């Protein structure tokens, strides 16, 4: 059963808009103008996409974040409120700007250009710890973007564990590619770690995905490594399971990882078996790729519910 507390999940992280420009070339020359074939201005940032999609799947989600006092910040708030996310702990920093990410999808991957705005200014002192611990579970996304919060993330996770919450962490990428190992201090208070394949290798400092998984699984009770259209692998101790997502017509993969996290944890907080968490994570990840950006596929309730229900009998995990 989900938690008896006020919220199922407290989410801590960054909040910004995504501006997506489609069909631009993979290389640019100075002083030339390039025309996109389409564009979308939508809710961005890993944490917000996670919070939005988790709430859309029927969970009570409280979001702890910061925005500037501008139109982009208001747009982010409106989207979250529309999805049923509790935004009362989101701080508005006066005279500051909300972050923005410009995404240029390419056939395989994408360019990601970010102005962080207030996302790197939110401090531990800005968090409402009382509200945050009125949840059954704590999730934090984009560890390396939380510049001001980062020195006290380990303390935050210890505090949450002591208050009885289960916890999960999706570090996402380190834009500076430094991978300073201070995250190792957070690991003892993390129940579920959700890297993608590249991030798992960087976190472990090992250039092999499966050996990285072994390294991380020796430090965190459950590690779930996302592998794009190859699905995901979960490892608890020495037990490893992997599962594929359904085949879908993909528009873009923005927020697929965050949607996977939302689907996986939707089941995890209900005490489901890892097989079921993986199946639902893959379904949610695949669903997100079928519409633009990270949240659009989850906004249409009829479409979302039909997609998630259709996957009921799909893709049983293989034992690895």
Residues that bind ligand ATP (CB under 6 A): 46, 172, 196, 226-229, 231-232, 245, 248, 250, 253, 255-258, 260, 282, 285-286, 289
Beta bridge partners of 190: none
Identify whether the C-beta of residue 69 lies closer than 8 Å to the C-beta of residue 96: yes
For residue 41, the minimal CB distance to Mg ion (Å) is 21
Applying CB under 5 A, the span of 124-132, 146-154, 178-186, 254-262 interacting with Mg ion comes to 254-262
Contacts of 127 (CB under 8 A, 6+ apart): 12, 64, 89, 149, 156
CA distances from residue 159 to 130, 154, 268 in whole angstroms, order as listed = 11, 9, 21
Identify whether the C-beta of residue 126 lies closer than 8 Å to the C-beta of residue 132: no
Nearer to Mg ion, 44 or 257 (CB): 257
Contacts of 31 (CB under 8 A, 6+ apart): none
For residue 169, the minimal CB distance to Mg ion (Å) is 11
Q: Is the dihedral of CA 86, 89, 95, 98 positive or negative?
A: negative
272 binds, among ligand ATP, Mg ion, none (CB under 5 to 8 A by kind): none
Residue ranges in 256-275 that form contacts with Mg ion under rule CB under 5 A: 257
Nearer to ligand ATP, 9 or 234 (CB): 234
* Nearest residue to the partner Mg ion, using Cβ: 257
174 binds, among Mg ion, ligand ATP, none (CB under 5 to 8 A by kind): none
158 binds, among Mg ion, ligand ATP, none (CB under 5 to 8 A by kind): none
Identify whether the C-beta of residue 317 lies closer than 8 Å to the C-beta of residue 242: yes
232 binds, among Mg ion, ligand ATP, none (CB under 5 to 8 A by kind): ligand ATP
Nearer to ligand ATP, 112 or 163 (CB): 112
Distance CA 312, CA 305 (A): 11
285 binds, among ligand ATP, Mg ion, none (CB under 5 to 8 A by kind): ligand ATP
Residue ranges in 169-198 that form contacts with Mg ion under rule CB under 5 A: 172
For residue 4, the minimal CB distance to ligand ATP (Å) is 30
13 binds, among ligand ATP, Mg ion, none (CB under 5 to 8 A by kind): none
Nearer to ligand ATP, 132 or 201 (CB): 201
Nearer to Mg ion, 173 or 242 (CB): 173
Nearer to ligand ATP, 166 or 282 (CB): 282
Distance CA 202, CA 174 (A): 9
Nearer to ligand ATP, 87 or 194 (CB): 194
Distance CA 32, CA 91 (A): 40
Enter the DSSP assignment of 36: -
For residue 273, the minimal CB distance to Mg ion (Å) is 24
Encode burial over 28-59: b for 16+ CB neighbours within 10 A, e otherwise: eeeeeeeeeeeebebbbbbbbbbbbbbbbbeb
How many CA atoms, within 13 angstroms, populate the side-chain half-sphere of residue 278? 28
245 binds, among ligand ATP, Mg ion, none (CB under 5 to 8 A by kind): ligand ATP
Footprint of Mg ion (CB under 5 A): 172, 257
């Amino acid at each position: 059963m989900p938690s008896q507390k006020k919220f199922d999940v407290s989410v801590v992280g960054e909040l910004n808009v995504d501006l997506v420009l489609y069909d631009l070339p993979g290389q640019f020359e100075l002083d030339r103008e390039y025309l996109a074939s389409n564009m979308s201005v939508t809710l961005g940032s890993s944490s917000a996409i996670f919070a939005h999609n988790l709430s859309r799947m029927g969970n009570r989600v409280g979001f702890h974040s910061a925005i500037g006092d501008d139109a982009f910040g208001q747009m982010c708030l409106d989207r979250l409120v529309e999805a049923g996310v509790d935004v009362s702990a989101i701080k508005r920093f006066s005279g500051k700007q909300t972050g923005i990410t410009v995404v240029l999808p390419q056939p395989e991957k994408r360019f990601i250009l970010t102005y962080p705005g207030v996302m790197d200014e939110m401090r531990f002192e800005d968090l409402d710890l009382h509200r945050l611990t009125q949840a059954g579970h704590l999730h934090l996304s984009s560890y390396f973007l939380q510049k001001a919060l980062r020195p006290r993330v380990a303390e935050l996770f210890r505090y949450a564990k002591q208050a009885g919450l289960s916890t999960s962490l999706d570090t996402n990428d380190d834009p500076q590619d430094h991978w300073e190992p201070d995250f190792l201090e957070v690991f003892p208070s993390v129940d579920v770690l959700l890297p993608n394949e590249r991030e798992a290798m960087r976190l472990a400092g090992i250039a092999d995905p499966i050996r990285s998984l072994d390294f991380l699984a020796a430090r965190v009770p459950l590690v779930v490594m996302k592998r794009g259209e190859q699905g995901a692998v979960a490892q608890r101790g020495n037990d490893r399971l992997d599962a594929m997502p359904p085949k879908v017509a993909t528009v873009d993969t923005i927020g697929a990882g965050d949607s996977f996290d939302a689907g996986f944890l939707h089941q995890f907080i209900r005490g489901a078996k890892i097989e079921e968490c993986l199946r639902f994570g893959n379904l949610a990840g695949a669903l997100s790729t079928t519409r633009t950006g990270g949240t659009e596929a989850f906004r249409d309730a009829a479409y979302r519910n039909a997609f998630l229900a259709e996957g009921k009998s799909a893709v049983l995990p293989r034992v690895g």
